[in-house]
Amino acid sequence: MATASSLSRLFLGKNLCGRAATISNTGFVKFYSVAPSYENIKIDVVGAKKNVGLIQLYRPKALNALCKPLFQELGKAVKDFDSDSTIAAIIITGNEKAFAAGADIKEMQNNTYSSNQRQHFLQEWEDISNCGKPIIAAVNGFALGGGCELAMLCDIIYAGEKAKFGQPEINIGTIPGAGGTQRLPRYVGKSKAMEIVLTGNFIDAQEAEKMGLVSRVFPVEKLLEETIKLAERIGTHSPLIVKMAKQSVNQAYETTLRAGLQYEKSMFYGTFATEDRKEGMTAFIEKRPPNFKNE
Ligand code: CAA
């Protein structure tokens, strides 16, 4: 890792251990210390108001392959940020070469059908989708197999212009096991999803944006900065209402249109039981910024 003085850096804030963390001019997160309990991820709190939880997948030698300990740490970090009332949104990122190159092939090489069943292999991945707060994936480099599936488990995907997405499990004699055959068609439609899953071919960031897999593409070195801006923008709203909006959008992937519309209506009515809804509309009429209280 380069020394602090060798790169022009944008100061981000203090990590959860109270130590400094920065983004370098190449967009890499530079942490000078690691939260002691984590070996496969790094966490930080960033943004001008220190209300964005940042999680960096950190197994650079294995291209952030998603081994079980990494996923256990990731699940814990997401849960901790979710229950921290000072955090408005969470970002998951990797490094310039890889967001994550998939589930750890070395770890699962000797698995059997029965061991997968017994151990509920990959079950903990679903824990991420229980998070009430928005999670944004900031993807530079490879997002393959489980890496692509992890990005799709997030609520929004921003990508660096050199990102590569794919579901190459077919190349190693298996199929996606954490949402690739289910979430990908919902993002990009059947034909494109079939092509990606059946060929194992990679798609680049620009193509992923065109398909609707990724919402925006940025120069590599701008990606994290722009993702933090997005998280901060979300953080200006009522956390309570943000959570309701997220739940409501997610229903669109779980139900029929009719049931989804009913769900949305009841959530919409529900916002009228909150102080923040009242404050939002009152502030609009009084032509002043709202002061949301998460109530
Ligand atoms: N699991 C374990 N280790 C991995 C890995 C993975 N998914 N991907 C990369 N690595 C390791 C490599 O083994 C290598 O380690 P060593 O130096 O110890 O040999 C290191 O990361 C660097 O990788 P490469 O030398 O292969 O790097 P490259 O730049 O030549 O190639 C790549 C990059 C194209 C991403 C290539 O590494 C690759 O194809 N990786 C596997 C991608 C894949 O098949 N992902 C799907 C996994 S299965 C899955 O995810 C199931 C599911 O749905 C949950």
Taking the centre of ligand 1 as the mean of its atom positions, its distance from the CA of residue 167, in whole angstroms, is: 12
* CA atoms of 180 and 104, how far apart (whole Å): 16
Domains of the chain with CATH codes:
4-234 (3.90.226.10), 239-285 (1.10.12.10)
pLDDT score at 124? 84
pLDDT at 4: 31
Angle between the N-to-C axes of helices 275-285 and 239-251, in degrees from 0 to 180, rounded to the nearest 10: 110
More confident residue, 162 or 36: 162
Average pLDDT of the segment spanning 28-53: 79
Beta bridge partners of 31: 21
Report the percentage of the chain scoring pLDDT > 90. Answer: 85
Phi, psi of 199 (to 5 degrees): -95, -30
Residue 146 a catalytic site member: yes
Q: Which of 53, 100, 141, 169 is catalytic?
A: 169
Nearest CA to ligand 1 atom 30: 63
pLDDT of residue 279: 98
DSSP assignment letter at 200: -
Q: Return the amino acid letter for 234.
A: I
Confidence of residue 34 (pLDDT cuts 50, 70, 90): very low
> Token pair of 61, please?
């030698």
* Separation CA 83–CA 21 (nearest Å): 22
Residue 223 corresponds to which tokens in the numbers above? 């990606």
Q: How far is it, in rounded angstroms, from Cα 183 to Cα 155?
A: 12
pLDDT at residue 127 greater than cutoff 90: no
Q: Whose CA is nearest to atom 16 of ligand 1?
A: 62
pLDDT over threshold 70, residue 241 = yes
Q: What is the mean pLDDT of the chain?
A: 90
Q: Supply the pLDDT for residue 174.
A: 98
Using the mean position of ligand 1's atoms as its centre, give its distance from the Cα of residue 146 in Å.
11
3-class DSSP state for residue 216? strand
For residue 26, what pLDDT is reported? Answer: 37
Instruction: Determine the residue of 57, 59, 63, 116 to mutate for testing ligand 1's pocket, defined as the one with the most ligand atoms within 8 A of the Cβ atom.
Output: 63
Q: What average pLDDT does this structure show over 220-225?
A: 98
Record the pTM. 0.90
Q: Say if CB 99 and CB 64 are below 8 A apart.
A: yes
pLDDT at residue 133, as a whole number? 98
Tokens encoding 32? 């000078």
CA 17, 35, 4, 49 torsion-angle sign: negative
Nearest to 230 by CA among 247, 215, 245, 246: 215
Rounded distance from Cα 76 to ligand 1 centre (Å) = 24
Pull the structure tokens for residue 1. 């890792």
